[in-house]
Amino acid sequence: MARRSEKNAPRVDIGGQAVLDGVMMKGPDAIAVAVRRPNGDIVVKRDPYESPAKKHKWKGLPFIRGTVNMVQMLSIGMKTLTDSANMAGEGETEAPSKFDTWLAEKLGKNVDKVIMGTAAVLAVCLSLGLFVALPNLAVLLFPKNATGGMLLAKNLVTGLIRIVLLIAYIGFCGRIPEMRKTFQYHGSEHKTVYCHEHDLPLTPQNAQQFSTLHPRCGTSFLVLTFILSILVCTIFDWLMLEIFGVNMGANYFIRLLSRVILLPCIMGVGYEALKGLAHADGRVVRALRWPGMQMQRLTTRQPTDEMCEVAIVSMNAALHGLPEGETTPEGWVILHPAERENP
C-alpha cells in the first residue's frame, strides 16, 4: 500500500514507463521493474536511484532539468527494456550466436554497456532523422529569402509535418500485437500512479477506476515540445534575421543544425510547461493539456487486472523495497500466483 504516513506530507510524484510484459516505476530513491512471465509468475527487481540534482545542483535548475531528465530517461529506458527481456526469460533456451560470443570475448564485461550505448545512439539518430531532418525538407518549397510572416509559415508547416509523422508512427506501432500489449501496460502504469496520487490502497480494483490518460506522461511531453518548437524556432529565426541578418531558411543544412542546437532549449521549456500544466487546473490549463492527453489515446490501452497487479508490484517495490519471495541469483524476487496476495 503506497500511502503517505502523514496526512499533510508532500506527495511524491512517481514516474514510470511500460516495458516488455511489465512496468518500470521510478521512486525518489529507487527504480523498480516488474514483469509477468507466461506461467503467471511476477518477477521484480529494484535498483537504487539518485537524482542528478543531488550531485550537481545545476542539473536541477529550471529549463536545464528538462534536458537532463530526457537524457537520463533515455538511458534508464534502454536499460529497463533489456532487464525486462531478461526477467521475462526471453532467449533463455537459445544458445548465443557466433557474433554474440565474439562480441563478448572482445568487450568482456562491458558488452552490455556498449550494446545499449550503440542502441541509444541509433535511436537518437533515427529520431533526429524522422522528426527533425525529414520535416524540415518542407522549407525547400518556400522562397529562400522569404521573411516576415513566412518565418512563421515555415515553422508551422514543419511543426505540423512533425506531429503527423508522430501520429503515423505511433499508429503503426499500435498495429503490432506485442506493442498493443505494451500500450496496455502503459495504461496500467497511469492507473496505478493515479491510485497512488489519490491515497487509495493499491489494488487492481481501485486502479481500474481511473483513466489511462495522465498529464505527466511522456507522450504529452513530446506533443508539447513539438508545439513549442514552432514558437521557439520562429522567435529564433526572427532574432537571427533582425540582429545578425542571417536568414535561417536560405540553407537547409544550416537550418537543420540550428534545430539540433535548439533541442535542449525546446526540451527545457517543454518540461517546465508539462510540470506546470500537470499540477494546475482550470479551463485554460485543460485546453493546453488537451492535445497531449488526446495523443495518449494512441499510446495507452485499457489494461487487465493482471496488468494493473504488475504495475502495483513495481510501484510498491520502488517505494518500499522488494517483497518477500523466492530470490534468484541475480537478486530478483519471484512472486508465484499461489503465494501472492493482492498488493
Q: Answer yes or no: is pLDDT of 2 > 60.
A: no
Predicted pLDDT at 119: 79
Q: Answer yes or no: is pLDDT of 90 > 90.
A: no
Predicted pLDDT at 308: 98
Predicted pLDDT at 144: 79
What digits encode the pLDDT tens for the residues 254-281? Answer: 999 999 999 999 999 999 999 999 989 9
Residue 260 to residue 252: CA distance in whole angstroms: 13
The mean pLDDT of the chain is: 89
Angstrom CA distances, 201 to 193, 198, 206, 207, 320, stand at: 12, 9, 7, 9, 14
Q: Answer yes or no: is pLDDT of 206 > 80.
A: yes
Categorize the per-residue pLDDT at 8 as very low, low, confident or very high, splitting at 50, 70 and 90.
very low
Q: Residue 217: helix, strand or coil by DSSP?
A: coil
Q: What percent of the chain has pLDDT over 90?
A: 71
Q: Which of 24, 42, 316 has its CA nearest to residue 196?
A: 316
Predicted pLDDT at 94: 55
Predicted pLDDT at 114: 73
Residue 146: exposed, middle, or buried by beta-carbon count in 10 A (0-12, 13-18, 19+)? middle
Residue 165 to residue 64: CA distance in whole angstroms: 27
Give me the mean pLDDT over the 317-334 stretch.
95
Categorize the per-residue pLDDT at 247 as very low, low, confident or very high, splitting at 50, 70 and 90.
confident
Q: Nearest 5°: CA angle at 226, between 220 and 228? A: 100
What is the dihedral angle through the alpha carbons of 193, 227, 126, 142, rounded to the nearest 10 degrees?
170
Categorize the per-residue pLDDT at 120 as very low, low, confident or very high, splitting at 50, 70 and 90.
confident
Predicted pLDDT at 7: 44
Categorize the per-residue pLDDT at 25 as very low, low, confident or very high, splitting at 50, 70 and 90.
very high
Predicted pLDDT at 343: 45
Residue 159 to residue 226: CA distance in whole angstroms: 6
Q: Answer yes or no: is pLDDT of 19 > 50.
A: yes
Residue 282: exposed, middle, or buried by beta-carbon count in 10 A (0-12, 13-18, 19+)? exposed
Task: Let me know: does 22 contact 185? Beta carbons within 8 Å.
Answer: yes
Task: Let me know: does 44 contact 323? Beta carbons within 8 Å.
Answer: yes
Categorize the per-residue pLDDT at 100 as very low, low, confident or very high, splitting at 50, 70 and 90.
low
Give me the mean pLDDT over the 133-161 stretch.
89
Q: Answer yes or no: is pLDDT of 312 > 70.
A: yes
What's this model's pTM, rounded to 2 decimal places? 0.89
Domain boundaries, the chain: 15-339
What digits encode the pLDDT tens for the residues 180-189? Answer: 999 999 999 9
Categorize the per-residue pLDDT at 9 as very low, low, confident or very high, splitting at 50, 70 and 90.
very low
Predicted pLDDT at 24: 98
Hunting for cell 505494451 — which residue is that?
182
Predicted pLDDT at 147: 74
Q: Answer yes or no: is pLDDT of 99 > 80.
A: no
Q: Nearest 5°: CA angle at 203, between 201 and 204? A: 150
Strand 30-36 with 333-335, pairing? unpaired
